[in-house]
Amino acid sequence: MRLIFPYVLLPGQREVGLSEELTRTLPQLMLYLQFPLEGLLTRLTFRRGIGLAGALGQLIFLHAIGALVLFLVSGTTPP
């Protein structure tokens, strides 16, 4: 879940400092927006002449950055 949907889990973290209402709403919104936004990014990547490997590399990189931020936010909380 952390690798595939890091941007869904990130707004739900208490450490991010969002209000309680946004903490409940944003993860659901991101769940519905993730695939259309990734599709749009891939389409724009193909229009620039970058091949399938480059487009997949960009998506993997974005997911890795999101997972890293999620790890940093959730792993640094003092007890």
Q: By the 8 A CB rule, do 30 and 18 touch?
A: no
pLDDT band at 61 (very low <50, low <70, confident <90, very high): very high
Compute the distance between CA of residue 22 and CA of residue 30 in angstroms, rounded to an integer. 11
pLDDT in tens, 4-13: 888 888 888 8
pTM, two decimals, is: 0.75
Helix, strand, coil % over all residues of the chain, rounded to 5: 80, 0, 20
* Nearest CA-CA partner of 31 in 58, 7, 2, 55: 7
